[in-house]
Each structure stands twice: as structure tokens, then as C-alpha cells.
A and B are shown apart, each in its own frame.
Chain A
Amino acid sequence: MDGVRVGKRVIGAESPVTVGWENLPRVEGGPLKQFVFTWFQPTVLFALLAFWYYAPNSIAKASTAIGIGIGFKVLLLTMEWFFPRHESWRLTWKELTTDLFFVGLGYTILRTVDVYIGDGAMIAAIQKAFDWDKFNWFTGLPLLVQAFMISFIFDFGQYWMHRGMHNWYPLWLTHAPHHFITQLNINKGAVGNPVELFLIGLGIGGFFDFLPRAALLAGTFGMAVSTYQHINVRFNTPRWWRFIFNTTEHHSLHHSLDYEATRSNYSGTWIFIDRIFGTCVDGEAELLGMEGGRRMSIREQMHYPFSEAWKTLKEKFGRPVTAVPAE
């Protein structure tokens, strides 16, 4: 495999990838299907932004956002079932059950941990100590600007945390299990070691809960853009969208079996952060995973960072095994 030169790197030398938007397949079918799969993503995004902008205070609440989020995921799962991007990524009972287990951890035990020792606790402490007068310049900005800034700052932090995970071994150990997924489906974003899910969840998101409407608008970018990172549906994503936002194409490259391809597209929502720092590669991959595409069991996902760290430490500091010559 020759791969494709992208800047100083060669992408796709180890596993097939497609580089360049002009080389990607488009949605096949009649004009109605083409229309729906071209305009679905922008329509949902703008409809949700309008909803949160104008919704009365009694409706603009986190509980409504959770309800919409769950309904949206069910809709996307249905789309995956009827319009799969790749047959090889089709959701099976085992995949769905595994994905939901990790989603369940995120909604239960990890949330509890977060409240006591994660960003929930930190944010509560900061909010208490903060002088809010210094924040008036921000709260006086137009709502959509506030929302963009909240979303962008959060994603900027996530970009560097994610890039750090790919470049610093201790952090990589926590992130590696997520890269053993061999297909993309709506809930695959939740699959990974809980330590990573905890680290990636550390952010400033909850910091803005005193600005409910701006926070909900910011969350819309997460829901109506980031969710598509792990989806088995093909869209004719508009050119401006894929220039600004992360897409399933970008993220499939990030999950490719090809090592160089995985070192790209780190942002969660705003792919232009990758463009700024030179880590964006436009393209897609179907063959995903690590170590030849072996699927990691839930048990190994749980202990991998610790067992691998132990192995590495033993190799580095352990007593070398010397062979005793036979007499």
C-alpha cells in the first residue's frame, strides 16, 4: 500500500483510507433521498438553535435537552438501521448492548463520581469563589456569541486533551481502549475506559449553568454536530459544514486501522481547530480499530490502562530474565 501524502505525512500506508472530499462516495437514490440527506444536518442544527433561542424559560431547561437528546439518538439509530453507510458497521445485538452499557455507566456511576471529585466539584468551588462582576462583559454579549464561545472554549480544551492522549503514553493508556472499536455507531462515543470518560468529561461545560439559555444553545452544537462523529449513515454534508464542523468522515479516519490517519482530527465539534493546528485530514475509512482490528472485550476495556501500565513498568524497571545455559 502506497498511501497518500498529506503535508509531511503519508496516510493510508498500513490500511486503506480515502483522502480528499472529491474521492468520497455520495448518497445514492432518488432526488427526495438526496435532498433529505443533504439538508438533514443543517436543518436539525438551525431548528434546535431557534428552539433554544425562543423557548420560554419554563421549557428551556436541562431536562428538556436530555429528552430531546434521547429522542434524537433514537431517530439516528433508526436512520442507521434503514440507511447504513457501511454494511460492515451494521449494529448487532451485542454491539448495541455493549454500547448501552458504557452509556449507562456515563449516566450513573460516572456522573456520581463527577459530582464528588470531577468537574462538578471543581465548578462548584470556582463558582463560589468567583467575583461575578468581572463576568458582566460576557453575560452582556448576544446569546449566540455566548453559546459559540462556550462551545468553542470547551472544544478547544477537549482538542488538546485528546491530542495529549495521542501523544503522551500515560494519557494514551486511558484512551487506547476507545480505539479498539471496529465500527462506528451512534453510541460508540461512550465506549472506552471509565478513566478516559472521566478525563474527557472534565471541562467548563457545567461552569455556565448560571446562563441556562446560552449553555443550552452551546449544547446544541454538541448534540447536532458532535453526535455525527460516530454514526453509520452517509450524508451529502454541505461543503461549508465539513469545513467548520467535525463529521463522521473525519472521525472514521481518526479511528482507521492506519496509524498515521489516527493522528488527525482531534476536535469534537469544531474541525477548524484541527485546521488551525494542521492536524485536519479530510477523508474517510471503513476498516477501523487497532492490532489488526481485534475487538476489545468490556473486561479488557476496564483493566487495559492499568494492566498495560504494569507491563510497561515491569519491562522498564523489572529484573531482567537471564537465560541459564544448559549444562
Chain B
Amino acid sequence: MNLRFFDWIWHIKGSLPLAHGQSSDEVFERLDPLFRQTGTTHERTNGTLSFRKKDPAAQDKMSVFDRGVLKVENDGTGGVLNYYLSSRALLFCFLAPLLFLSFGQLTVALGTLNKPSAEAEKTAEDKKKDAKKEAERPMNPIDKALGAPAPEKPDKNKKDKKPSPTPAYVFAGIFATLYVVGRFLEQRLVKSLFKKRLLGETPVALSEPA
């Protein structure tokens, strides 16, 4: 199976043009703080930086990605930073609607299986008890004086509460929306993060001696 037709689901590809004459060492030096985070390992070889993250902190600006490769290349017009990042969080969010749809189906199936017991007829004794309960709904005089509504008589036809599949379908919708938002948002955020670091102040290690 060729993964490249659907690996866009959890991979983010992009490129950034570099300033004239910016070397790969300078580029990676500027990006270095992003890869010096808890749970992140990285290595640099010949204009390529590859990294891996395990349990990154929520405060890590690239925590949504688990691994990736950044390459400094020349596209003919000048230097370019190409990156290819992988995110299990995006994949998980893409699949989450299916999980919640299956929860919804399971709820429906369980509801069908338990129908006979749910609608089992009440015994005469239960009915007697219900009638008694209906007659006794005391209300404290303080509540009466303060104007609280009188308690409602219990609904004789009230059915047993059974779980509804609706929340599962709502969450399937929420995760589908979150996926679309996340896929575009994280692509934009990582690009602006790299851009900011590359255009930002010169790292101390690379600044010219005074």
C-alpha cells in the first residue's frame, strides 16, 4: 500500500526560503532551542536535522510532533529549509470520530439487548409504593414562605434512564472539527515558529565577537 496518498493526515510538510547566504549550521543553530526540550533527542548530519520526542511537556512549542526531519537545500533560487514532521496526535484526532461513532453504536446495541428487562412490568408492591410516594411530597414551610415552586408529582410513566447515543455522535462531530482545525492550525503555527526563530536575533554562539 502506498502511504503517500494519505500520509498527509498525520504529516506536515513545508518549506521556508532562507536569507541569502545562510548556512545550514547557522539555520540549525537558530532552531536549536526548539530541540533542547524535555523528552526531545536530535541529531545533525550534513545539512539535515532529525528529531524525536517522547512525552514532550505541554509547554513544548512543538509538542504536537513526535518526530521529523529538517533539511537545508538549494532549490536553484537560493537556500530553502524543507521540513517533514509527523504527528500521532493528528492521526489520533483523525481516527477519534470513528471511535466515538462505535461507542454510539455500542450504546444502541446494548439498549436493544436490554429492552425486555428495562420495560419489565412493575410488581403490584412497587405500584403501591409509587402511589404512597406520590401522596407524600413534603415541602418545608421556609421554602413555601420564600416562594419556591411546589414539588412536582412523580411521573408514573417515567421510564428507566438508559444511556443515549447522542453524546457519542456529538463528540464524533467535535473531533472531526478539531482535526480540520488542528491540521491547518499546527501547519501554520510550526511555519511561523521556524520563521520567527530564523528571522529572530542572532544566537550568541554565532554573533561576531565585539
Contacts and interface: CB of A to CB of B under 8 A. Distances in A.
Interface of A: 53-57, 60, 88, 92-98, 100-101, 104, 107-109, 111-112, 115-116, 120, 124, 128, 132-133, 136, 139-143, 181-183, 210, 212-213, 292-298, 300
Interface residues of B, number: 51
Interface of B: 38-39, 55-59, 63-64, 89, 92-93, 96, 100, 103-104, 106-107, 110, 126, 129, 132-133, 136-140, 142-143, 146-149, 151-152, 154, 160-163, 167-168, 171, 174-175, 178, 181-182, 185-186
B151 A100 contact: no
Contact of A142 (B55, B100, B133, B140): B140
Contacts of B182: 93-94, 97
A210 B57 CA distance: 45
Contacts of A294: 38-39, 55, 57
A53 B144 CA distance: 11
Contacts of A213: 148-149, 151
Contacts of A128: 126
Nearest to B174: A100
A120 B110 CA distance: 15
Contact of A182 (B59, B110, B136, B181): B59
Contacts of B185: 93
Contacts of B151: 57, 213
A210 B136 CA distance: 12
Contacts, number: 120
Instruction: Pick the 6 closest A-B CB pairs, nearest first.
Output: A104-B171, A107-B167, A57-B152, A140-B138, A108-B103, A108-B168
12 contacts: A54-B149, A92-B63, A94-B64, A98-B89, A104-B167, A112-B163, A115-B162, A116-B110, A136-B136, A140-B140, A182-B57, A295-B63
B129 A143 contact: no
A225 B80 CA distance: 53
B169 to A, nearest CB: 9
A93 B64 contact: yes
B106 A295 contact: no
B167 A183 contact: no
Given A94-B63, A132-B129, A295 B174 contact: no
A96 B178 contact: yes
Given A88-B59, A93-B181, A213-B151, A298 B92 contact: yes
B161 to A, nearest CB: 8
Most chain A beta carbons < 10 A, residue from B110, B149, B175: B149
Contacts of B149: 54-57, 60, 213
Given A104-B171, A108-B167, A112-B110, A295 B162 contact: no
Contacts of B152: 57, 212
Nearest to B160: A124
A107 B59 contact: no
Contacts of A293: 38, 57
A183 B136 contact: no
